[in-house]
Amino acid sequence: MSQDKPELHRGLRDVYMDRSKSSFIDGQAGKLLYRGYNIHDLAEYSTFEEIVYLLLYEKLPNAKELEDFDSCLRMNRELPEEILEIIKLISNAHPMDVLRTTVSALAAFDPDVSDNSPEATLRKGVRLTAKAPTIVAAHSRIRNGKDPVSPDPRLNHAGNFLKMLFDKEPDPDDSKVIDKDFVLHAEHGVNASSFAARVAASTQADLHSAVSSGVAVLKGPSHGGAAEEIMKMALDIGSEENAESYVKDLLSERKRIMGFGHRVYKALDPRAIHLRDDARQLGERKGEPKWFSILQAVSQVMEPYSKRGICQNVDFFSGAIYYLLGIPDDLFISIFAMGRIPGWTVQVLEQFENNILLRPRLMYVGPMDLEFKPLSER
């Protein structure tokens, strides 16, 4: 009996799989909201700690709530010695591989690991958010033959990361730049890594499993890896004058210009606006304005493509920011991941709240009903 041919949605483009209260994206207008609040207001006036609270608890904190929550984050930054030993054993691995492995290993030390209740999942999300910068900074130092730097309870989330990474008091302006970067990366709907986290959660796996899945997927260059490639492009270009010919040569070879285009946004990514301003100011402050000038020149060459919906995305200026802060290029994706852990946590919470196993189908296009022959007859 024949069946109607199913409709195929390759890449699940524009497929709505569930309802969400965590973030809203209007790709045509270039609009992003976290819990109903515009990303422009959040980027300019809030801190990462406030954003984590907003995403996890569905409201902006008052002063006392923020103070208590910030204290909780600071109290949970330390890593077990066993995790530091694991980092030493795999110190030659890519930072994202180290982050994925240690997030998974932390499950063995979490008292709530098997408890998928909302309360326990929130506690685990806070702990993973707090510990991720410690993992990334410790690995960066260990692989370079240096001792890890202990978390500094005096400093906020962003400042503490810079202190642990470079073993010196961070410039307050640099901390503000990283803080805003975390804010802008905190949540973005059911992108590839969040979808992976939801798939894991739909099987009733724990948060550590879901976040490990998210980290694994974020590593891919089509998702989180673009910032590293963009900075490599800027270094190859070398000067503003070379940008036009460089970009046109790539386009003539039908190659992609990294940092442009997005599966959802057909207008300028609203997050890119803030990173653009930070990249310009940071370049001027560090005495290296040329990197912003190069990226601006690339942007000008790509301007005609904006009419086709190919605009700057969040990655375009972030690589230059990290580079100007002296952060190694293979840590760029890890910084993205540090900011995204609250987003993955809230996606898992929503999946648990109204769970259904995520199990799509594949349309089979291979041969049918072949005759099997024993090995002796093949």
Give the CATH number of the domain where residue 199 resides: 1.10.580.10
Question: Which residues belong to the active site?
Answer: 262, 315
Confidence of residue 254 (pLDDT cuts 50, 70, 90): confident
Burial class (CB in 10 A: 0-12, 13-18, 19+), 274: buried
**Between 371 and 232, whose confidence is greater?**
371
Does 1 have pLDDT greater than 50?
no
Residues 193 and 253 in one domain: no
Average pLDDT over residues 9-23: 91
The answer to whether position 64 is within a domain reads yes
Asked whether residue 366 is assigned to any structural domain, the reply reads no
Does the structure show a pLDDT above 60 at 320? yes
Q: Average pLDDT, stretch 146-173?
A: 98
82 near 371, Cβ under 8 Å?
no
pLDDT value, residue 131: 98
Q: Do residues 166 and 293 share a domain?
A: no
Evaluate if residue 205 carries a pLDDT over 60: yes
pLDDT at res. 3: 58
Q: What is the pLDDT of residues 87-137, one digit of tens each?
A: 999 999 999 999 999 999 999 999 999 999 999 999 999 999 999 999 999
pTM of the predicted protein model:
0.93
The count of structural domains within the chain is 2
Question: Which comes out higher in pLDDT, residue 23 or 314?
Answer: 23
Q: Are residues 41 and 126 in the same domain?
A: yes
Instruction: Give pLDDT, residue 314.
Output: 83
Residues 56 and 159 in one domain: yes
Is 362 part of any domain? no
The whole domain housing 233 covers: 226-324
The CA distances from residue 178 to 34, 108, 162, 173, 299, in Å, are 19, 30, 9, 9, 23
* Residue 4: pLDDT over 80: no
Pairing of strands 37-38, 23-26: unpaired
Statement to judge: residues 142 and 215 lie in one domain: yes
Name the token pair of 226.
């673009």
| pLDDT confidence of residue 257 | 84
Q: For the domain that residue 242 is a member of, what is the CATH number?
A: 1.10.230.10
pLDDT score for 256: 82
Q: What is the model's pLDDT at position 2?
A: 47
Query: Does one domain contain both 73 and 101?
Result: yes
